[in-house]
């Protein structure tokens, strides 16, 4: 079977993106499982190799099919959008915001046409994008617009544990109000569907509780009794493999031990704390609901250490490996077009 081609937009050229990309692509385990293709700028990449003191050759291609995909050669679609005399590492620049956007735009085009199977994204900088007058300053919004989808579903994966979120960027108080039977049921269905698209068809989804100790039967909080339990029961009736609510004290612990194929957390920090505390660097976001597979590092552009060659590539490598892991399944289900 042919290894999947993973598109890697280079991210903000002034950030640590280029450095973590060249470090990751010096790791032989990447080439064992996929064919990585960078969408970026040749000069920026060459500079990153110098900064990191890595020896790879750069191989420019026009289409993904021309790539060599061997360790020691980095295949690159060169958008030639950086003037090196003006590039300053670690600073907000309109040129870099615009370039970062163009790398993503090109990557999405390739993914939509099926020329690459998945994309693994590197950090972008909101301020740089703003300086470049880019309408969208977040990855997700950009990807939605460029791919014509709405309301994608984010999943985190760390050490094999998968975590979904009933809500994300709302206040904790609002998050509590969003825990309704209808929404929990909707998310059980959406999570199950997202898992199926990733090829995860076995196992049980666990829904976390909202309150301390899952409310202890209504003693402190009744959302479990009034909203979560009825949603889980309704889903079970409809044939979904789901259990819950299970208290946050134990649900992630049990998921790590392999009891569940995923956990639906009920608010942002519930799932974020469980994953990032376990292993910050290996916590990878997967965006479900797009026409293609997309993984992402969860760190930023780290302008304070950009250009120093010290940035850790653990997250980037993990993001590429996860894209490779799910690509075959995603592909065979006919979600992407080749």
Partner 1 sequence: MSTTLPRIALTPGEPAGVGPDITLQLAHRPLAAQLIVFADPELLAQRAALLGISVSLHVISWPLARKELIPHQIGCLNVVPIPLAQPVTCGKLQSANAAYVLETLKQACQACLDKHTDALVTAPVHKGIINEAGFPFTGHTEFLAHQTGVSQVVMMLATDTLRVALVTTHLPLSQVSATITPTRLETVIRILHADLQSRLHIPHPHILVCGLNPHAGEGGHLGREELLTIIPVLDKLRQEGMQLVGPVPADTAFTTNSLTGIDVVLTMYHDQGLPVLKQQGFGEAVNITLGLPIIRTSVDHGTALELAGTGRAKGGSLYRAVQMALKMG
Query: Do 13 and 104 contact (CB within 8 A), yes or no?
Result: no
Q: Could you tell me the smallest distance in angstroms from the CB atom of residue 143 to partner 1? A: 20
**Contact positions toward partner 1, by CB under 8 A?**
168-174, 176-177, 210-213, 215-217, 219-223, 247-250, 252-253, 267-270, 272-278, 280
Q: Which residues contact 100 (CB under 8 A, 6 or more apart)?
A: 9, 10, 11, 12, 13, 17, 124, 125, 128, 129
145 or 269: CB nearest partner 1: 269
Query: Do 313 and 182 contact (CB within 8 A), yes or no?
Result: no
192 or 296: CB nearest partner 1: 296
58 DSSP β-pair partners: 74
For the beta carbon of residue 18, count every other beta carbon within 10 angstroms. Answer: 30
CA angle 170, 175, 181 (to 5 degrees): 135
43 or 222: CB nearest partner 1: 222
CA distance 338 to 194: 21
60 or 273: CB nearest partner 1: 273
73 DSSP β-pair partners: 57
Q: Could you tell me the smallest distance in angstroms from the CB atom of residue 228 to partner 1? A: 12
Q: Could you tell me the smallest distance in angstroms from the CB atom of residue 81 to partner 1? A: 30
175 or 320: CB nearest partner 1: 175
Lookup: tokens for 180: 């309704």
Q: Could you tell me the smallest distance in angstroms from the CB atom of residue 212 to partner 1? A: 4
Q: Could you tell me the smallest distance in angstroms from the CB atom of residue 166 to partner 1? A: 13
Q: Could you tell me the smallest distance in angstroms from the CB atom of residue 225 to partner 1? A: 11
260 or 292: CB nearest partner 1: 260
224-227 long-range contacts, CB within 8 A, separation 24+ = 226/181, 227/179, 227/180, 227/181, 227/184
59 or 213: CB nearest partner 1: 213
Q: Could you tell me the smallest distance in angstroms from the CB atom of residue 272 to partner 1? A: 4
CA distance 122 to 16: 9
């Amino acid at each position: 079977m042919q290894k999947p081609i993973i598109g890697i937009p280079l991210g903000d050229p002034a950030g640590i993106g280029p450095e973590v990309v060249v470090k990751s692509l010096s790791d032989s385990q990447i080439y064992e499982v996929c064919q990585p293709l960078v969408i970026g700028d040749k000069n920026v990449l060459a500079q990153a190799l110098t900064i990191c003191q890595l020896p790879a050759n750069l191989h420019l291609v026009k289409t993904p099919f021309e790539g060599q995909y061997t360790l020691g050669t980095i295949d690159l679609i060169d958008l030639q959008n950086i003037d090196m005399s003006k590039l300053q590492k670690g600073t907000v620049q309109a040129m870099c915001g615009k370039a970062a956007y163009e790398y993503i735009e090109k990557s999405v085009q390739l993914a939509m046409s099926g020329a690459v199977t998945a994309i693994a994204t590197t950090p972008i900088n909101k301020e740089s994008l703003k300086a470049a007058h880019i309408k969208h300053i977040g990855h997700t919004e950009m990807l939605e617009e460029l791919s014509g989808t709405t309301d994608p579903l984010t999943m985190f994966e760390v050490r094999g544990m998968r975590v979904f979120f009933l809500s994300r960027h709302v206040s904790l108080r609002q998050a509590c109000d969003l825990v309704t039977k209808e929404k929990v049921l909707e998310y059980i269905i959406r999570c199950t569907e997202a898992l199926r698209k990733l090829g995860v068809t076995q196992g049980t989804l666990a829904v976390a509780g909202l309150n301390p100790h899952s409310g202890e039967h209504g003693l402190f909080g009744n959302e479990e009794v009034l909203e979560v339990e009825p949603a889980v029961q309704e889903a079970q009736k409809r044939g979904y493999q789901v259990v819950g609510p299970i208290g946050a004290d134990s649900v992630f612990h049990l998921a790590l031990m392999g009891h569940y194929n995923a956990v639906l957390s009920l608010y942002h920090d519930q799932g974020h704390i469980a994953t990032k505390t376990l292993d910050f660097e290996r916590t990878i976001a997967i965006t479900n609901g797009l026409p293609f597979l997309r993984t992402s590092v969860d760190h930023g552009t780290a302008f304070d250490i950009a250009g120093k060659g010290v940035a850790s590539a653990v997250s980037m490598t993990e993001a590429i490996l996860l894209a490779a892991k799910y690509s075959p399944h995603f592909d065979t289900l006919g979600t992407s077009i080749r």
